[in-house]
Amino acid sequence: MRKHVPNALILALLASPFFSGCSNDLLQRKLGEGVIEYALSFPDYDPNGIMAGMLPERTTLTFADDKQVAELSAGMGIFRTTMVVDGVKKGLDYHLSMMSKKMVAHLQPRDLGLFHQDSGKPTIVYTDDRDTIAGYPCKRAIAIFDRIDHPETDLWYTDRIELENPNWFSPFAEIAGVLLRYDVVQYGMRMRLDAISVKPGQVDPAKFKVKDEFEKVQPEVLHHELAEVLGTFSM
């Protein structure tokens, strides 16, 4: 004969530390590795500009073990950048490929001011706004800049992706979560990134290695090359 289990006992089991702990763990679990794909747009750019067709439409961010690789391709693949970022050691290897020219510079925190001249360090204002982007819960902050020609920027970020110091190399270093929707200005161009997918999956550690075929240069040399190349896109 089947024994009847009292409803009170079932409720007691569900309320026990074991069951409630598992539920909370599932809700709070963070993604440790995978790939984020962003759609790119250029709010201030003339869509009829002579270089409009050369601008990128997508970029990806691969992450694992507190490391990131941000990859971008423009000009039908002629121009490529790859940033390999270490959140623990706070080092960044910035690769630039332009036709036959290939160079890489190793950046440390003291070098970043050179690359953030267009934005400077903003004041971050946190809000109570919430949204879901690419399936992940996000909070909204606002970056307010002291330059009149640099409007304030919405920053949507999530704490459900596990990365140490995810933004230490950007103007938004104060933000503790991974940015899924935001604007960034570099070399006179405003670029808007909007995450359209976050795909969990194992990442090959080789993805985070510096490319051997790239010539090692000083940060100032790379900055000069980027300014020249990206300047052509703002025509």
Note the pLDDT of residue 52.
65
Token pair 């693949």 is found at 77
Give the CATH number for residue 79. 2.50.20
| Sites in the chain below the pLDDT cut of 70 | 1-28, 46-53, 76, 118, 231-235
Q: What is the mean pLDDT of the chain?
A: 85
Note the pLDDT of residue 13.
42
Q: Is residue 69 part of a domain?
A: yes
- Non-local (6+) Cβ contacts of 105 within 8 A are 93, 94, 111, 216, 217, 218, 219, 221, 222
Total domains, the chain: 1
Note the pLDDT of residue 24.
44
Give the single-character DSSP code of 175.
Answer: -
Note the pLDDT of residue 56.
87
174's tokens: 């104060």
CB 139 within 8 A of CB 156: yes
pLDDT tens across 177-212, in order? 999 999 988 877 889 999 999 999 999 999 999 999
Q: Is residue 10 part of a domain?
A: no
Note the pLDDT of residue 213.
93
Q: Is residue 2 part of a domain?
A: no
**Residue 206: domain span:** 34-233
pLDDT tens across 57-70, in order? 999 999 999 999 99
> What torsion, rounded to 10 degrees, do the Cα atoms 207, 208, 209, 215 define?
100
User: Residue 13 CA to chain centroid, in angstroms?
Assistant: 42
Q: Is residue 65 part of a domain?
A: yes
Q: Is residue 22 part of a domain?
A: no
Q: Is residue 26 part of a domain?
A: no
Note the pLDDT of residue 169.
94
Q: Is residue 6 part of a domain?
A: no
